[in-house]
Amino acid sequence: MDKEPIQSYCVGNTLSPQVARTAQTRPVYIQMKLEHILGISAGYHDAAATVINSAGDIVYAGHSERYSKRKNDADLHKDMFWEFSRGRHIDHIAYYETPWKKQLRQLYSGQGIEWSRITTGQVLREQLGGYFSSVPVSTHNHHRSHAAAGFQTSPFDRATVVVIDAIGEWDCATIWAAEYDPQGRAQYRLLWRQRYPHSIGLFYSAITERLGLRPLDEEYIVMGMAGWGEPAYVDTMQILLQENLHAGVGHMFLPTAKDADIAASAQAVAEQEIYKLMQRAQAFGFSTNLVYQGGVALNCLANRKLGQYFEKVWIMPCPGDAGSSLGAAAQVYGRKIRFTNAFLGTEISGAYPVDAVIHSLLTDKITGVASGRAEFGPRALGNRSLLADPRGPDIKDRVNAIKQRQQFRPFAPVVLSEAAAEYFDIPPGFVDTSYMQVVGQCRYPTMFPAITHIDGTSRIQTVSNDGSGIRRLLEAWYARTGCPMLLNTSLNIRGEPMVNNRADADRFEQRYGVQVHS
């Protein structure tokens, strides 16, 4: 019998108390072989789980909301347990943050302590309902989990890592030096941190709430609204940024201002703050590679200028807290993860229905596809997508009639990578533009009004020659029409998360009368 090599796994780390450039993380290693590591991010919003095997493959990564049908469900859903554990021996659980530190911060911020959620054991009992109770558990740092999710999935061996979110335990923004040691183990050194309550994420979420939208969920709508307004309140918002915005700004903040102007001002201020942080990260001089994580990394409008600060940029397709389930497991695994794409969730089996989708697009211009594994991350990338012919003036209204979303928001294009530069001015720096993470100017906005925003930008998803279903579909579409792109938006019933399984797709068909191919 072949003997598996014994590897060392990081099972925890602590942050030094110093708030200084020299602050270190101290990894703790054990010597043993782990078959499967389960990473969990749950308890606050958008619960998720990831399983990594001993070869560094991500064998499962999924969101609870896709099972419970509750958007941003904070708690793990039991149907996930069977999917992520079937036929697999889970021999370690990694939790993405440190509950007692979070509780201390909640006490400090006047939210009080939840005594039933002081320890990781308490939180996991609540989340796992007694399942996996004999499996050893490790607890990690919130921002380090973000950093590990990004760095260990990136193509880099050395990188500056920037994490910006609303709040972790205490940190709201951190900068890390990340590299692999000669044994291939990931090493993280904390270079800088910004602590609660000073937070770009909390600021943007407070403005989201002021505009009548759901904070920690609908920030992307604020970003879309920004293009329609003028940044008339930048000075006011810069003052606001100095305040503790955890409880929001209240509905009386700028009571007579237009919503679009508030959104444009918030976007302008957020960008200023993000770029200040990028400058600070660049100034450490550790690497010209940037790994960028945290919920704020989903701001694809701000992301367009990251190439001004770093030569190469990587954002993991699920950079928010759900992605930290991967980050927690990655810290225990300790080495580079074999990351190939974001199709890591529930499987709908069968060949990708290229011919059927092409037929529907040529006949009706709009159709759905639910095939292969579900996307990990907030974007539908072709396996749970509503697709449409992007040409012509009427298509946006037709797709909107199904999606019933705000008219001011554009849809995104999915385009063959070799044709992308002909149609879009793609910002420099991104090593991979497959994940709808950055906007670029559309060169032909009048030809493609449905996928062009009021400011002339498009949120681009390129597809390289990777053998994926969406790649074969785009090739076939191009061969038939000469158009190398499709409109791509998430396949979901209004108010629900993305379609997960075939039963969800059937409900979508019945609700909207649009065929969904599998």
Smallest gap from residue 321 Cβ to Fe ion (A):
4
Smallest gap from residue 142 Cβ to Fe ion (A):
6
Smallest gap from residue 205 Cβ to Fe ion (A):
12
Q: Say if residue 376 is exposed, middle or buried (CB neighbours under 10 Å; 0-12, 13-18, 19+).
A: buried
Q: Which of 399, 400, 485, 407 is nearest to 447 (CA)?
A: 485
Q: Alpha-carbon distance 358 to 282, whole Å?
A: 46
Smallest gap from residue 220 Cβ to Fe ion (A):
16
Smallest gap from residue 429 Cβ to Fe ion (A):
23
Q: Which stretch binds Fe ion (CB under 5 A): 40-48, 190-198, 225-233, 317-325?
A: 317-325
Q: Is 321 in the site for Fe ion (CB under 5 A)?
A: yes
Q: Alpha-carbon distance 346 to 254, whole Å?
A: 44
Task: Give whichever of 208 and 468 is closer to Fe ion, judged by the CB atom.
Answer: 208
Q: Which stretch binds Fe ion (CB under 5 A): 1-9, 298-306, 315-323, 357-365?
A: 315-323
Smallest gap from residue 201 Cβ to Fe ion (A):
8
Q: Is 261 helix (H, G, I), strand (E, B) or coil?
A: helix
Q: Is 171 in the site for Fe ion (CB under 5 A)?
A: no
Task: Give whichever of 172 and 485 is closer to Fe ion, judged by the CB atom.
Answer: 172
Q: Which stretch binds Fe ion (CB under 5 A): 59-67, 128-136, 159-167, 307-315?
A: 159-167
Smallest gap from residue 222 Cβ to Fe ion (A):
18
Single out the residue of 46, 65, 97, 165 in contact with Fe ion (rule: CB under 5 A).
165
Q: Alpha-carbon distance 41 to 324, whole Å?
A: 6
- Residue 355: how many other CB atoms lie within 10 Å: 12
Task: Give whichever of 165 and 389 is closer to Fe ion, judged by the CB atom.
Answer: 165
Residue 382 contacts residue 469 (beta carbons within 8 Å): yes
Q: Which stretch binds Fe ion (CB under 5 A): 62-70, 283-291, 303-311, 314-322?
A: 314-322
Q: Alpha-carbon distance 92 to 36, whole Å?
A: 7
Task: Give whichever of 50 and 492 is closer to Fe ion, judged by the CB atom.
Answer: 50
Give strand pairing partners of 388.
366, 487
Q: Which long-range contacts (CB under 8 A, 24 or more apart) does 450-453 make?
A: 450/388, 450/390, 450/392, 450/395, 450/396, 450/399, 450/410, 450/411, 450/487, 451/390, 451/410, 451/411, 451/412, 451/413, 451/485, 451/487, 452/410, 453/224, 453/227, 453/410
Q: Alpha-carbon distance 501 to 494, whole Å?
A: 16
Q: Which stretch binds Fe ion (CB under 5 A): 106-114, 164-172, 215-223, 238-246?
A: 164-172
Task: Give whichever of 165 and 375 is closer to Fe ion, judged by the CB atom.
Answer: 165
Task: Give whichever of 297 and 366 is closer to Fe ion, judged by the CB atom.
Answer: 297
Task: Give whichever of 48 and 516 is closer to Fe ion, judged by the CB atom.
Answer: 48
Q: Say if residue 84 is exposed, middle or buried (CB neighbours under 10 Å; 0-12, 13-18, 19+).
A: buried
- Closest CB to Fe ion belongs to which residue? 165
Q: Is 375 in the site for Fe ion (CB under 5 A)?
A: no
- Peptide bond connecting 99 to the previous residue in cis, omega within 30 degrees of 0: no
Q: Which residues bind Fe ion (CB under 5 A)?
A: 165, 321
